[in-house]
Structure 1
Amino acid sequence: MVQSNDPFWHHVEEMKCMYCGHQFAKDTSISRIKWHLSGEKGHGVAICDKVTEDVQEAAFQAMHGGNKRHKSIASSSNVNDNAISTTPQEQNNNEVDNLAGDAGRTQAPDTMGQALERRLEEFDRWLMEDDIDNGTGGVVQPGAGASSSGGLTCNTNETPGDAVPTTKLVGQAFEDHKKTIWSWLMHDEVSTIGIYGMGGVGKTTLVTHIYNQLLERPGTFCHVYWITVSQDTNINKLQNSIAKRIGLDLSNEDEELYRASKLSKELTKKQKWVLILDDLWKAIELHKVGVPIQAVKGCKLIVTTRLENVCQPMGKQHTIKVEPISKEEAWALFIERLGHDTALSPEVEQIAKSVARECAGLPLGVITMAATMRGVVDVREWRNALEELRESKVRKDDMEPDVFYILRFSYNHLSDSELQQSFLYCALFPEDFKIRREDLIAYLIDEGVIKGLKSREAEFNKGHSILNKLERVCLLESAEEGYVKMRVCLLESAEEGYVKMHDLIRDMAIQILQENSQGMVKAGAQLRELPGEEEWTEHLMRVSLMHNQIKEIPSSHSPRCPSLSTLLLRGNSELQFIADSFFEQLRGLKVLDLSYTDITKLPDSVSELVSLTALLLIECRKIRHVPSLEKLRALKRLDLSGTRALEKIPQGMECLCNLRHLRMNGCGEKEFPSGLLPKLSHLQVFVLEEWILLYQRY
């Protein structure tokens, strides 16, 4: 896994090779840069012919686990390449400041400061390694590219994967399914395995156990690839996901047929592999994607889906239906998650058994319900819970998944509005997205969900406490990425935390957001243009269009949404133009995130967004002009990091009397106006090139 201190970032400047001048795409991984520098052909990367010998050898060894180049195989495409570093998912941009215990520190621009700035810049670059890929890639589980040799000659350029955290299997049927799937994997005549069942029944948990078992038995397969497909997939997106896992570059190929041909050829060379497609929503024709499952002996495809008919068109295969667990198994799971230390009176126990039965044998529902009731001993609360569950079941829409009314009960029983609003905010991110805790908490602070605290440290502590509570009631999952970042304030390593939502829980959250038309969530939906005018209702409060391919917002769009507080357009990398009229009737906007877009100018109408508390333009590398900020007196966070083309510091910054967080590292304008800092009386965090200033004012 690439970390922020990978030394090979020093050989590129603004994604351009310092030796031959080769220009890399902005989302290029560090591993492709290493192949470029290594001089070894056959990896779909242009080779640098001007790199020095010592750097070339170092890059070669980095890609081969420290093994030196053998003269007879130098520049050969047939060498074993077992230890390539791969990149983590982009979790949007890095929040570089952690203020715990760092009030009032100032760092001078010495050697340490310069090194830190390089770390910040490289961190921004690799954060763009995004498995969402702005709607063109897939979401990959931790440790998704696994490989092992075990006596086989396996050409691989994936890092050996790590076991994926999972819950234990519940019930004899799950154990039987696990043994059956494993036997099919070992059988040469079985190429495709379909696993289907209703949402929340445990399909992904079952396959996660299989995945981990494959990792524990090296030599069984050379490679194991895991891709979470999601509802909005198409052939192009799936091709990109698979290509990224196997180290194939399809960025210069647009024709679906030729992309499929390249994928098929590369997968054929990979020998024995297992490809897991989790949560497939519609049938796919494997040959159109480029998966040569029938042509390559010893290779396997595992598919999980809610729909049996998704499995049928994919050729000769074996299928398993995952059924709900029995009443006895559901009760055992319920008691386990409730906590064995919770003593239930006989009367409460009988009610609790009825509550467990209401979960319809769906493990997700049982686990979530038990977490909600953990610590409750009053029989009246248990009776009330059972009555509410039964009433919710009666009101349930026939089109809703069976588990929805259980999840809705857990949401309704969150202790306060702060928890509920924080939970709903998570649904604004794309499906299966691993959300960096720091990013999510920053949004919650920006919008005012977390408020009334004096310091940024206190706000983030509160945010982590909220997310921990949501994890404890099983409405969020921990999703550690396992890499280490540079913690600027303390100059020490700190593990980063992530959360994610089960797709059913996210669906339920979106349903709540859409009630009374208060939310529009189309994150990662592959949109090429803005939603139509009829969808921008006056009751909208939050809109998430992040990670799409929207190219422009024309003057014909001027939505009247006076209550809109959050607008997330982050990650629309093709977005170049926003008409001035777009923001004219969005005067209640608090959070505006246009990070990682290609806009060249911020519309002048942004100057009138007087309620704005956060303006985020991270890595808007082509933006030249930001209008006056004089009227934005409520602004608390301004992030201009990576705005390399910015010609001038925005006017009116001296009026930002409530600004607490200002980040300008990598900003095109190098001169910071003298006398400005004292006017920013509430500033707590300031990042400007090599200077990293941390303030704490009470």
Structure 2
Amino acid sequence: MALIGEALISASVQVLCDRITSPEFVDLFRHKKLDEPLLMKLKTTLLTLYAVLDDAEEKQIQKPAVRDWLDELKHAVFDAEDLLDEIDTEALRCKFEGEDQTGKFTNKVRNLLFSSRNHFYQSMNDKIQELLARLENFVQLKSALGLGEVVGRKVSQRTQTTSLVLEPYVYGRDEVKEKLSKVLLSDDAGKDAVSFLTIVGMGGVGKTTLARMLYNDDKVKGNFTLKAWACVPYCDDYIKITKTLLEAVTSKPCNTANLNLLQEDLREQLRGRKFLFVLDDLWNENNEDLNYLRALFITLGTRGSKVIITTRNKNVAYVMQNVHIQYLEPLSQEDCWLLLAKHAFGNEKCSAHSNLEDIGKQIALKCKGLPLAAQTLGGLLHCNIDFEYWNRILNDGFWDQPYDTTNILPALGLSYHYLPTQLKRCFTYCSIFPKDYEIEKEDIVQFWIAEGIIPKAENGKRMEALARRYFDELLSRSLFQKSRKFSFIMHDLINDLAMFMSQGFCLRLEVGASCEVKRARHLSYARGRFDAAPRFEPLYEAKCLRTFLPTSLNPYIYWRKQFVSKKVLQDLLPSLRCLRVLSLSHYQNVTELPDSIANLIHLRYLDISHTAIERLPGALCNLYNLQTLLLSNCSSLLEFPADIRKLINLQKLALGGCSSLNKLPAGMQELANLHHLDVSGTKIEEMPVQM
């Protein structure tokens, strides 16, 4: 079992070596006059670097030079993945189109085809030679950085489901919950009709958990006629705040941008109703903004209404003039141990592992009373109920890392540090999602598969099953938390951890460039009603980008019409030739895709659902690697291109709600890898489809 997780790119390097030495790839090099000895030299260099990756991963936090070396190596490895994928794709194209058919062309055309293909493979030789030179530089530097092979270490690849109960457990909060419940049930609000209850505490201490307990308490629920939960970390945009609150109350989108009208609408909704609002994780320190927020509620509320605020900032509590301020202290050592033990042993009793109780309590002490730390460490310890493993974690040098240099709690850093390499890639990829973002499990499963994070299997169903197991494993380690019935969320501090570990590769456009845009691999950005071209100008340099994903923290935004600049569709996206995940969903002005979509030869996942697209270009069928095509609720879609049979790797096709589509194209039966076809809500729903 595991002593420590492998380095983040270990799996990528291993996959590259396997591909290089596969019979199919070697045979391709021989037949296409590619440089086979060069290929073997590339493999040897990769294996030399592979031997020191684990050591580099351990030393990167203490030694910035090692982190720089490792980050640059990651970029080189990802470039190698793209290069080999490009060769594979060309081979696939030639195989599908049949090179032997060139005999039916004239000698002139045949010579042009031959020359073009020779030029391609020669350029591949040149690129491999350039890549090899880059990798050899890393080999030369490893000794100077003191990197060596870590001998005698076994690594767990455990990704099995567990008996661990994933529902949240709360220890040590009964007394404070009882006290705050009485405040919520009391109608004595003093001079104002609405009173504020503020829960103040450091990150990870359990503020949101306590607020959720109060919000869902049966007695509390029965005392209010209206309840709503909203996350407004920064209250400097009054229109946005009021709109967020109104949409939370009505569960409907709000399109007006007039502050006075918004306030009138909200006042009308709340008239005569005693409400309970929760404003979770409020950060704003500006007194003017906080006073606006306070005044908004006071002018709207019926006597006895309450607002619960959770915040790390004491100033918020003072400005809101609360009826009650609850400073949430860390858990006692005993409660912290009970919480850790619950996550470590699951449904088993601690007495079944009495030999681990003393060392477990010592580990719990290092959590410093933070429930989030106890939960994640409990999930880590659950992986191996073994004294040697627990002792290794207790005495790990990672505990000595200075918090002020990374802003990463040691307990959370250890949880990442001990992850198997595949789980590390899955976890760090999720840093593209903004804080408080509702993550759908099936979406992230498809993203991971498209990005090549999930090891290849014989069919798509097996890869999906494995990806779900990876997700469940991260959930069992408290790196995800349940949010709604089918959604999940990352705690802010967990999100910070993912961002720290992925910096230089993942970019969230709405928070500024946390890495060089031109070297970013994965991008998300906050949707707007109109996403104009200027905001995307820096991305013309992002030639390595693999993910292009619009996101939104507001679920009601999808009820509004949204638009994206035509320049983005026509010019930007076709230039991002390394894209594997592309989403244009919900953009109402997307009526067609340019033929240049064929430039995206690496594309695996394409989501154009909820758009006004009418026809798909024939060029789309040249995307031989495409695995997922989502067209749900494209009500204007009339037909498919004739050559859809060329999408030989297509595994998932969603057509639900395509009301204008009345037939499937010829050649669908040739898509041997297609295992998921959704035609609900279409005219072809009742047609027999043999899959």
Is the structural similarity TM-score above 0.5? yes
2:410 aligns with: 405
Aligned counterpart in structure 1 of residue 466 of structure 2, from 453, 462, 469: 462
Name the aligned partner's letter for residue 580 of structure 2: K
- Report how far residue 629 of structure 1 moved: 1.7
1:391 aligns with: 398
Task: Describe the superposition over 1:607-650 as per-residue Cα deviations: whole angstroms up to 9, x where unpaired.
Answer: 21111112110111256664612431111222233333446634
Aligned counterparts of 1:205 and 1:615: Cα–Cα separation in 2: 37
Q: 1:218 to 1:468 in 2, by over 3 A?
A: closer
Aligned counterparts of 1:293 and 1:379: Cα–Cα separation in 2: 60
2:188 aligns with: 188
1:682 aligns with: 673
Aligned counterpart in structure 2 of residue 272 of structure 1, from 266, 271, 274: 274
Aligned counterpart in structure 2 of residue 259 of structure 1, from 258, 262, 282: 262
1:198 aligns with: 202
1:169 aligns with: 170
Name the aligned partner's letter for residue 314 of structure 1: M
Task: Describe the superposition over 1:127-168 as per-residue Cα deviations: whole angstroms up to 9, x where unpaired.
Answer: xxxxxxxxxxxxxxxxxxxxxxxxxxxxxxxxxxxxxx9634
Aligned counterparts of 1:604 and 1:587: Cα–Cα separation in 2: 14
Matched, 1:298 2:318: no
Name the aligned partner's letter for residue 216 of structure 1: K
1:478 aligns with: 482
Q: How many residues align?
A: 500
Task: Describe the superposition over 1:433-461 as per-residue Cα deviations: whole angstroms up to 9, x where unpaired.
Answer: 33222222122222222242233432332
2:246 aligns with: 243
1:421 aligns with: 425
- Report how far residue 244 of structure 1 moved: 2.2
Q: 1:579 to 1:690 in 2, by over 3 A?
A: closer
Q: 1:392 to 1:655 in 2, by over 3 A?
A: same
Structure 2 residue matching 1:635: 3-state secondary structure? coil
1:542 aligns with: 522
Name the aligned partner's letter for residue 363 of structure 2: V
Matched, 1:590 2:580: yes
- Report how far residue 265 of structure 1 moved: 4.2
Name the aligned partner's letter for residue 318 of structure 1: H
Aligned counterparts of 1:331 and 1:249: Cα–Cα separation in 2: 43
Q: How does 1:333-352 map to 2 (within 5 A)?
A: 333-339=339-345, 341=349, 349-352=357-360
Mean CA deviation greater in 608-617 or 313-322:
313-322
Aligned counterparts of 1:222 and 1:669: Cα–Cα separation in 2: 43
Q: 1:608 to 1:217 in 2, by over 3 A?
A: closer
Q: 1:246 to 1:344 in 2, by over 3 A?
A: closer
Contact 1:593 1:617 in 2 (8 A): yes
2:53 aligns with: none
Identity among equivalent positions (%) equals 25
Contact 1:558 1:581 in 2 (8 A): no
Mean CA deviation greater in 550-559 or 605-614:
550-559
Q: 1:240 to 1:624 in 2, by over 3 A?
A: farther
Q: 1:246 to 1:690 in 2, by over 3 A?
A: same
TM-score normalised according to structure 1 size: 0.64
Q: 1:276 to 1:632 in 2, by over 3 A?
A: same
Structure 1 residue matching 2:228: 3-state secondary structure? strand
Name the aligned partner's letter for residue 505 of structure 2: Q
Structure 1 residue matching 2:229: 3-state secondary structure? strand
Contact 1:638 1:663 in 2 (8 A): yes
Matched, 1:551 2:531: yes
Name the aligned partner's letter for residue 583 of structure 1: L
Q: How does 1:321-400 map to 2 (within 5 A)?
A: 321-339=327-345, 341=349, 349-374=357-382, 376-388=384-396, 390-398=397-405, 400=407
1:485 aligns with: none
Structure 1 residue matching 2:395: 3-state secondary structure? helix
Task: Describe the superposition over 1:66-120 as per-residue Cα deviations: whole angstroms up to 9, x where unpaired.
Answer: xxxxxxxxxxxxxxxxxxxxxxxxxxxxxxxxxxxxxxxxxxxxxxxxxxxxxxx
Structure 2 residue matching 1:291: 3-state secondary structure? helix
1:308 aligns with: 314
Contact 2:621 2:647 in 1 (8 A): yes
* Unmatched 5+ stretches in structure 1: 1-164, 482-496
Name the aligned partner's letter for residue 231 of structure 2: T
Name the aligned partner's letter for residue 668 of structure 2: L
Task: Describe the superposition over 1:346-382 as per-residue Cα deviations: whole angstroms up to 9, x where unpaired.
Answer: 8854433322111111011012112211263544323
Name the aligned partner's letter for residue 329 of structure 2: E
Aligned counterparts of 2:537 and 2:491: Cα–Cα separation in 1: 37
Contact 1:195 1:302 in 2 (8 A): yes
* Unmatched 5+ stretches in structure 2: 1-165, 553-557
Name the aligned partner's letter for residue 281 of structure 1: W
Task: Describe the superposition over 1:21-56 as per-residue Cα deviations: whole angstroms up to 9, x where unpaired.
Answer: xxxxxxxxxxxxxxxxxxxxxxxxxxxxxxxxxxxx
TM-score normalised according to structure 2 size: 0.65
Structure 2 residue matching 1:507: 3-state secondary structure? helix
Contact 2:317 2:325 in 1 (8 A): yes
2:502 aligns with: 513
Q: 1:233 to 1:558 in 2, by over 3 A?
A: same
Contact 2:196 2:324 in 1 (8 A): yes
Name the aligned partner's letter for residue 307 of structure 1: N
Aligned counterparts of 2:648 and 2:406: Cα–Cα separation in 1: 51
Matched, 1:691 2:664: no
Name the aligned partner's letter for residue 377 of structure 2: M
Aligned counterparts of 1:166 and 1:227: Cα–Cα separation in 2: 22
Matched, 1:210 2:214: yes
Q: 1:664 to 1:536 in 2, by over 3 A?
A: farther
Aligned counterparts of 1:256 and 1:461: Cα–Cα separation in 2: 48
2:548 aligns with: 567
1:137 aligns with: none
- Report how far residue 275 of structure 1 moved: 1.3
- Report how far residue 314 of structure 1 moved: 1.8
Q: 1:546 to 1:456 in 2, by over 3 A?
A: farther
Greater per-residue helix proportion:
2
Structure whose alpha-carbon radius of gyration is higher: 2
Contact 1:641 1:664 in 2 (8 A): yes
Aligned counterparts of 1:570 and 1:179: Cα–Cα separation in 2: 38
What is the Cα-based RMSD across aligned positions, in Å?
3.3
Aligned counterparts of 1:535 and 1:394: Cα–Cα separation in 2: 23
- Report how far residue 574 of structure 1 moved: 2.9
Aligned counterparts of 2:352 and 2:633: Cα–Cα separation in 1: 57
Aligned counterparts of 1:606 and 1:245: Cα–Cα separation in 2: 39
Structure 2 residue matching 1:683: 3-state secondary structure? coil
Contact 1:595 1:619 in 2 (8 A): yes
Name the aligned partner's letter for residue 519 of structure 1: C
Aligned counterparts of 2:670 and 2:376: Cα–Cα separation in 1: 49
Aligned counterparts of 1:384 and 1:411: Cα–Cα separation in 2: 15
Mean CA deviation greater in 418-427 or 686-695:
686-695
- Report how far residue 298 of structure 1 moved: 1.3
Name the aligned partner's letter for residue 302 of structure 1: I
Name the aligned partner's letter for residue 179 of structure 2: T
Aligned counterparts of 1:612 and 1:294: Cα–Cα separation in 2: 51
Aligned counterparts of 2:613 and 2:337: Cα–Cα separation in 1: 58
- Report how far residue 671 of structure 1 moved: 6.2
Aligned counterparts of 2:211 and 2:665: Cα–Cα separation in 1: 60
Name the aligned partner's letter for residue 360 of structure 2: A
Q: 1:346 to 1:635 in 2, by over 3 A?
A: closer
Aligned counterparts of 1:294 and 1:543: Cα–Cα separation in 2: 40
Task: Describe the superposition over 1:469-492 as per-residue Cα deviations: whole angstroms up to 9, x where unpaired.
Answer: 1222121223452xxxxxxxxxxx
Aligned counterparts of 1:684 and 1:250: Cα–Cα separation in 2: 36
- Report how far residue 430 of structure 1 moved: 3.8
Structure 2 residue matching 1:634: 3-state secondary structure? coil
Contact 1:646 1:667 in 2 (8 A): yes
- Report how far residue 605 of structure 1 moved: 3.1
